[in-house]
Each structure stands twice: as structure tokens, then as C-alpha cells.
A and B are shown apart, each in its own frame.
Chain A
Amino acid sequence: MADAPVPAISVRNIHKSFGQHEVLRGISLDAHDGDVISILGASGSGKSTFLRCINLLETPDEGEITVAGEAIAMKRNRMGSLVPTDRKQVDRIRSELAMVFQSFNLWSHMTVLQNLIEGPVHVLKRPKAECIAEAEALLERVGLAERRNYYPAHLSGGQQQRAAIARALAMQPKALLFDEPTSALDPELVGEVLKVMRSLAEEGRTMLVVTHEMAFARNVSDRVMFLHEGVVEADGAPEDIFTNSDSERFRQFIGGFQA
């Protein structure tokens, strides 16, 4: 254990309830640098909530989150629920974990290029000229160089999501969190987004991907986690888990996609 590398993201025993409903019932995960982990599950299985707990968009009721060896400081308030101790630390860790959302969540009053440089310039406080040069290179990469002065409302869903991925990359994050990045897209636009995500996986980015794309989970990720009713029901390398999983539920789940 002594020389084991520090995981990029380490999550221990996350619990989360909304009212009476316990959505997450003790989930743990270690993601090392370069890992691409797909998180699967039926809707309501808690997979998005789990992802949102990692950057504290949802505050877990229980559990620990460590990013590159740094634990997010949390304490219990008078009501007994966890709250982050240091808001600045949370902001900093969030800036290191870029998130891509189901509905893109681009800032509607900014052009594509402005969306890309907003975080680097105002959160990371980096020189603007440098950020613009990098942003233009990123837009080139996701095939949106021509659209840099467009507003989000003037782009297709696939273009918006590619812009959102470029915005995430512009933060030079330690890891990328994808929350169902293709679920809001028309079927013919899914491919262009998956292509970008696949190229990110190939260059060794650390990625946690909540998805319904079985082909992506199977062919691109190093590891697949299947959540069911708030617990990890199956977990393993895709070639193992997709061919012979112990979990009856997981076999049923992927059976539903093959049908």
C-alpha cells in the first residue's frame, strides 16, 4: 500500500436522502489518474446524485470526499447534517473537477468563446490573452472554431454540448464529471459528442461518466459501476461485467438495451 498512487478522486461511504427517500446508501469509489469510469443505473438509481455529491452540488449526509489527496473539510451542523467547513476550499476543488451537464448549462448571455474563458479568467485569474488562445485551440478541437462568436441559443444541442465540454477542458481540470451528457440530445447528434468524449478518454483524461450509452461504457471505459437503489450492485472491467456478471439485475438492465 505504501507506494500506491494517490487516487485522483476518492469517495467513501456516501449517503444521501431527499426527505424520507434514501437515494444513496453507502457508495465508495476510487478513480486513479487516467481512469474512465462509467456509472450506469436505471433512472432513480442515484447515479446523478452520486456524481453531484463529488463536487458538492449536493451535500452528502454522510461520507468523505478526497480529491488528489485533499479531503474536503466537512462538519456537522446543529441539525446533524454535513456542511462544508471552508467555502473557499469547496470552490477551489470544484474548479479542479469540471462538470458537463445533461442540459449543457452554457451561460446564455455569453458567446461560446466567452463561455470558455469565463472560468479561466475570473475563477482561475489567468491572463485573458492566454485564455483566449487556449479557448480557440479547444474550440478547434471540438469542431466549433467557426462558431466562437455564437450565442448558445444559436447552436444545435450537439454543438452546445461540445462547447460545454470545451468549457470544462478550459479549466484544465484534474478530472471531468459527465452527468448524462448525451441524454438530452436528438439521436443523430449523440455521435458527435461521444466522439469528443472518446478522444478525451484516449488521451488519458480522468473521467467519471454517468450515462445510458452502453456502447461507450463497454468500449471506452476502463471500469463500469452499476448502481441500483442507492448501492453498487455490480462493479468491474467492462469486458468482465458485460459478459458474465454475478448480478441478475445488471444482466436484466443491459438486456433491456440489447432488445
Chain B
Amino acid sequence: MDFDVAFLLSTFVKLVAAVPMTLGLFAASVSLGALLALGITYCRVSGGPLLSVFARAYIFVFRGSPLLIQMFLIYYGLGQFPAVRHSLFWPVLRDPFSCAVVALALCTAGYQAEIMRGGLQAVPAREIEAGRAAGMSRLLLFRRIIAPIAIRQALPAYSTEVILMVKSTALASLVTVWEVTGTAQRLISQTYRTMEVFLVATLIYLLINFIIVRLMALAEYRLSPHLRERPDPASSGGRQGEIHG
């Protein structure tokens, strides 16, 4: 196989054109999934027994079955029911992009809910108690004490899930969304140069994930000054400011 730089370049340009689609799938599904996950986590931790069972069942089903099948069920499966075709949701469910987003979001919500629950459980009971003893209302306690600590604790697991989601957007190619992987397959069917096209696609996913990993690491760093080494007493002893509301 010759090393055809011109071909690699032109492939790169064609695949980069599909990156907005991949990022769109990713951003829409992760944020929609996060909202869903908040609700599920609430049901799981502070809802009554009925809501808790619902949350557990949801998490079990969406973590326990293949994402690809979930996506096929939503895109190909639901359209078979006339009730669905005549419903309010049909404009969403007949569009491949929105179907892919819905499937990805439903799935990641199950994982994200478990990550959020883990973060909440890692909040020391002692610090919650100190907040109650100071007269904090439930909402204030959550906003000022529980959420900041839980987010910090959940971040490493959360960044793994986010990276998995970037890669999961590739499945959308199987419901005819022309994101990076789908575009790569179309190029292969035109050129039969599997190796080169997929290598370029891999490179693009690596670049996206590299940026995401760096951003997550930065967030983690910013959120955890209290977990780092003690500052040098000579340099920080008399420092003023740095009070966050």
C-alpha cells in the first residue's frame, strides 16, 4: 500500500466536515442525558419507594441492553405503530438525527444517574450535619455543600462517560446520520480504501477526545484545590482575596 498523502488529506478534509454532526449528536445527547439523569437520581435517592423502583428499573434496562438495539428500536421499531406515527412525537421520531440523540440520551442518562448517585454518596455525612446545625435549609445545604462536593467526587467517572459518549455517536451512522463514522463508510464504499479512511477517522476521534480529556482535567484541577498538597506557607500565609461567594 502506497502512502498517499494527497488522499489522506482529502479524506481528512471530508471527515472534518462531518465533525459538526458528531459534536452535535454528542453535545445534545450528553446535556439532554444529564437533565434526565438529574431526575432519575432524584427519584433514586430522595423519592419514595415507588420512584426509587422506577429509577432502578430504568438504570437496569438502559445500562443492561445494547445501545445499538435501543437505537434500532427507537428509529425502526416505534415507527411501526400508527399511534406513534400520529402522535406529537412523530416529527422527532421520524428524523434520524433526533432519534439518535434520543437513544444516546436515554442510554447515557442511566449511566450518568449512577455516577451522580456515587458522587452524592461520597459527600461526608459530617459536613452535611455541620450545615444542618448552622441552620441551612435543604436547598441551601444542597447548593452550597452537597452539590459542590458531589460534583468534584463524580468528575473522574463523569469524564469517562463523556468520552464513551463521543465514541457512541458512531452508532448513529447505522440509522443514517452522516457523522464522522458514517461519512467514512461512505468514502470507503466509493474508494475501497478501508485502512486509510478509518485511520483518518480514528485520528479525528482522538483529537476530539484529547480536547475533552484536557478540559475535564482542567475542571477537576480547578475544583480540587483542597485535595492538593498543602500550599507553601511562606508564599500563601498572608495572601488576601480568593473568596468565592
Contact = CB atoms under 8 A, between A and B. Distances in A.
Interface string B131-151: 111111100100011001100
Nearest to A170: B134
Interface stretch (B17-25, B28-36, B237-245): B237-245
A105 interface: yes
Contacts of B135: 91-96, 119, 123, 171
A141 interface: no
Interface stretch (B6-14, B74-82, B157-165, B225-233): B225-233
Given A94-B133, A99-B133, A149 B140 contact: no
A241 interface: no
A96 B145 CA distance: 20
B243 A57 contact: no
B134 A154 contact: no
Contact of A105 (B126, B152, B225, B233): B126
A21 interface: no
B230 A150 contact: yes
Interface string A157-174: 000000000000001000
B134 A101 contact: no
Contacts of A108: 124, 127, 149, 226
A107 interface: yes
Given A114-B244, A146-B238, A109 B140 contact: no
A119 B243 contact: no
Interface of A: 55, 57, 87-88, 91-96, 98-99, 101, 103, 105-111, 113-114, 117-119, 121-123, 128, 132, 146-147, 149-154, 171
Contacts of B131: 107
A118 B227 contact: no
Contacts of A103: 126
Contacts of B95: none
B130 interface: yes
B160 to A, nearest CB: 22
A174 B140 CA distance: 22
Interface centre among B135, B145, B238 (most CB of A within 10 A): B135
A27 to B, nearest CB: 20
Nearest to B233: A146
A98 B134 contact: yes
Contacts of B127: 105-108
Contacts of A128: 243, 245
Nearest to A55: B133
A122 B126 CA distance: 19
Interface in B51-108: none
A77 B167 CA distance: 52
A93 B132 CA distance: 11
20 contacts: A91-B137, A95-B134, A95-B135, A99-B130, A101-B126, A103-B126, A107-B130, A108-B226, A109-B226, A118-B134, A121-B245, A122-B140, A123-B135, A128-B245, A132-B243, A146-B233, A146-B238, A150-B231, A151-B225, A153-B227
Contacts of B144: 118, 122
A203 B148 CA distance: 37
Contact of B129 (A101, A110, A118): A101
A101 B130 contact: yes
B236 interface: yes
What 7 pairs across the A-B complex have the smallest Cβ distances?
A95-B135, A151-B226, A105-B130, A94-B135, A154-B230, A99-B133, A119-B134
A123 B134 contact: yes
A93 B244 CA distance: 27
A109 B135 CA distance: 19
Given A91-B135, A111-B242, A171-B134, A105 B230 contact: no
